[in-house]
Amino acid sequence: MSNQANSPAEMEIDLVEVFKAIVRGRLPIAIALALSVALAAIYCFNFLPDVYSATTSLYVLNQIDQTVISSSDLSSSALLVNDYREIITSRRVTEAVAQELGLEDLKAFEIEVEAPADTRIIEVTVTGEDPARVMEVANGLAQEFSRYVVSIMRIDNVSIIDEALLPQAPSGPPRERYIVLAALLAVIATMGVITAIEIFSTSLKSADDVEKQTGLPVLAQIVWVDLDENKKKKKKRRRRTS
């Protein structure tokens, strides 16, 4: 049996000791949690601007003069939705809308195009910091898209169902979610640091650690006595008895 201490890589991970180390480190964990929540709240509520969203919906028809709609027509229209999604966000459409609204481009806006399952409806959602501009961009995209589809597909198969309205309240950002995420990351990171320190620590904290590291039995232990602390306790006892 080797009498040399094992290297950190050869040490067995004692989950109980790791758990005890995490419990002992509850104060640093609590401090990290409080700091992360405070800093995240300051950043979210002071540096993240409110954003607004406006949505317009369009109805896509594969054949507008057909009174009976078959399942194949529904499938083909659903497939065309993917094409329409690319057209709405194309450079030609976005540049035309930006020019019409007197904007340099639409990079300041987030454009999302969704199609509910088994429908011919397209929902265009525009998100930005200016609620009036958000509404104008959403409606502009719907109108320009309708004109563009007519010119390239030679069919009039898109109708605007609902125009975008002026948003009355911010839609984001999700500040509370960011704060919770920051708190979780801080706790996980602090616990990870404590765990790493415990795993790779080479210090011997008990007789069991000595036996594990050296493979030799412990014959005796020296108890540490704080003489100054004992003197203070004796003085307090004398004062109470006097």
Q: What is the tens place of the pLDDT at every residue in 65-92?
A: 454 445 555 555 556 677 778 888 899 9
**How sure is the predictor about 210, in pLDDT bands with cuts at 50, 70 and 90?**
low
Last residue of a domain, one of 111, 133, 162: 162
Residue 1 belongs to a domain: no
* Residue-wise DSSP of 185-207: HHHHHHHHHHHHHHHH-----SH
pLDDT at site 149: 80
- pLDDT tens-digit map of 12-27: 567 888 888 899 999 9
- Kind plus residue range of the DSSP H or E element containing 128: strand 121-128
Distance CA 49, CA 54 (A): 17
Residues 6 or more apart in contact with residue 148 via CB below 8 angstroms: 87, 92, 93, 96
**How sure is the predictor about 64, in pLDDT bands with cuts at 50, 70 and 90?**
very low
pLDDT at site 154: 58
Last residue of a domain, one of 162, 185, 202: 162
Distance CA 118, CA 161 (A): 17
pTM above 0.75, yes or no: no
Same domain, 112 and 142: yes
Task: Give me the helices (H) in the chain, please.
Answer: 15-24, 26-47, 71-88, 91-100, 131-153, 175-200, 207-214, 227-241
- pLDDT tens-digit map of 145-177: 988 887 776 556 678 899 999 999 999 999 999
Structural domain boundaries, residue 94: 52-162
pLDDT at site 46: 94
Question: Which among 207, 171, 175, 211 is positioned nearest to 44, based on CA atoms?
Answer: 175
CATH number of the CATH domain containing 140: 3.30.70.1130
pLDDT at site 72: 55
Residue 181 has pLDDT above 90, yes or no: yes
pLDDT at site 156: 60
